[in-house]
Structure 1
Amino acid sequence: MARRTKEEAAATRDSILDAAEKLFVEQGVSRTTLQHIASAAGVTRGAIYWHFDDKGALFNAMMERATLPLEAELQVLDEAASGDPLSDLREYMLAVLRRTVEDPVARRVFEIATLKVEFVDEMDAVRCRRRHNLGQWMARAERQVKLAADQGLIGKNVDPARIALALWTMIDGMIRNWMFAPQSFDLLQLGKCVIDPYMEGLRAGRA
């Protein structure tokens, strides 16, 4: 009986998070109340408070449950072994774009975190997570750029931090704009058109 009760509680929690995720996409975080979420999930407000202290805690749990595209594909970069650091970096960036297109759950939460939330105190988890993701990206991208410089694939006088930040801006900006109108352009194709010339320009400067 205890096991069944625990499973039922977990199922209720998931249904609340599913409902919140759907409503946050449809009407934004600030315009979604706990009563809206309770009604959509078919539970009472009391059931929500049993699982979450407030909307901020519910929102944070929704974010923690999801794996965003930038995070999901880090393994691609960490396990890369092609011998060409720039090619590995390119493959990671394209994998992120591909994940954004093909994974509806990751895309939905990314949309909420970037377009549907105000960075007020109770939603500060988004700001913290974004800062963490940027830090992870910068560390890995700078490492790849330094390796490329050491191998003579690009010029020795490059600034790895500047290049890493430029690449982050490219990928983050493309995803954000695609989210506004997914049918307006092919995200993966545009990614190749933007990333490849930049990488080729880096290689061209190795002399």
Structure 2
Amino acid sequence: MARKTKAEAAATREALLNAAEEVFFDKGVARTSLEQVARHAGVTRGAVYWHFKNKGDLFMALVEQVRMPFQSLVDEVKNVDPDVSPMDSLHRACLAGMQRLERPHYRQILSILLHRCEFFSDINPLEMQREINEECYAEMLVVFEMASQQHQLREEIAPETATRLLQATLGGLFHDWLRAPESYSLSERGADIIDALILLLRR
């Protein structure tokens, strides 16, 4: 059999990730087999193992497609406005993140991670969520510390407290919205809440 080109291999990998997203969302991760993913993608099971070690590796690759490190959102804001203040960069980064999560691809994978993924073999969804939350906390904290140093954060509120408050607010918004994502706009309702929170935190 002729060796696949890099382009063909990349296309197969993309097809497997797309298939995994659809089948995981429909059946749940634990109840999905790699055979089902391969069949849905129109490839052999061997093709799955060529690209991914196991189901956990496939699931991690899927989640990595939509990970949004908070620092990357802040950097995007700064690329548009290099002189943006720390508090405003936090504000705008949150709004940008919510707008991105409304895209079907992001929304569906987040829903799989939060609601359709159980402990199974080499998959620990709570550990994955913990790692993402800790990364987000650390990156938010850096910006809140800058805001505090520049006297933009209310002096009676510690940067650590402000970070936990913002993170809990965002987490609550995401979980609530994913229960019925078609019932309202995350970015519109979330904007009102984040606007109010930043106003309360701002000095």
The TM-score normalised by the length of structure 2 is 0.84
Superposition pairs of residues 20-169 of structure 1, within 5 angstroms = 20-64=20-64, 66-70=65-69, 73-76=73-76, 79=79, 81-101=82-102, 103-124=103-124, 126-169=125-168
- Contact 1:69–1:100, Cα closer than 8 Å, also in 2: no
Mapped to 2, the partners of 1:158 and 1:121 lie a distance apart of: 42
Match of 1:186 in 2: 185
- Tell me the secondary structure at the aligned position of residue 76 of structure 1: helix
**Structure 1 residues 131 and 82: alpha-carbon distance in aligned structure 2, compared to 1, 3 A threshold:** farther
- Contact 2:25–2:116, Cα closer than 8 Å, also in 1: yes
**Structure 1 residues 51 and 198: alpha-carbon distance in aligned structure 2, compared to 1, 3 A threshold:** closer
Mapped to 1, the partners of 2:54 and 2:142 lie a distance apart of: 40
Backbone CA RMSD of aligned residues? 2.6
Code of the aligned partner of 1:151: Q
Code of the aligned partner of 1:20: A
Match of 2:19 in 1: 19
Mapped to 2, the partners of 1:74 and 1:154 lie a distance apart of: 17
Query: Larger deviation: 128-137 or 190-199?
Result: 128-137
Mapped to 1, the partners of 2:131 and 2:75 lie a distance apart of: 16
Distance apart, 1:78 and its partner CA: 6.0
**Structure 1 residues 189 and 41: alpha-carbon distance in aligned structure 2, compared to 1, 3 A threshold:** same
Higher normalized helix content (fraction of residues): 1
Distance apart, 1:46 and its partner CA: 2.9
Q: Which runs of 5+ in 2 are unaligned?
A: none
- Contact 2:66–2:106, Cα closer than 8 Å, also in 1: yes
**Structure 1 residues 186 and 52: alpha-carbon distance in aligned structure 2, compared to 1, 3 A threshold:** closer
- Contact 2:87–2:144, Cα closer than 8 Å, also in 1: yes
Cα deviations by residue, 1:146-168 (Å, 9 ceiling, x for unpaired): 23223333332321112101111
- Tell me the secondary structure at the aligned position of residue 171 of structure 1: helix
Match of 1:8 in 2: 8
- Contact 2:162–2:201, Cα closer than 8 Å, also in 1: no
Mapped to 1, the partners of 2:115 and 2:75 lie a distance apart of: 26
The TM-score normalised by the length of structure 1 is 0.82
Code of the aligned partner of 2:150: Q
Code of the aligned partner of 1:153: Q
Q: Which runs of 5+ in 1 are unaligned?
A: none
Distance apart, 1:77 and its partner CA: 5.3
- Contact 2:56–2:123, Cα closer than 8 Å, also in 1: yes
Query: Larger deviation: 181-190 or 55-64?
Result: 55-64
Residues matched between the structures, number: 201
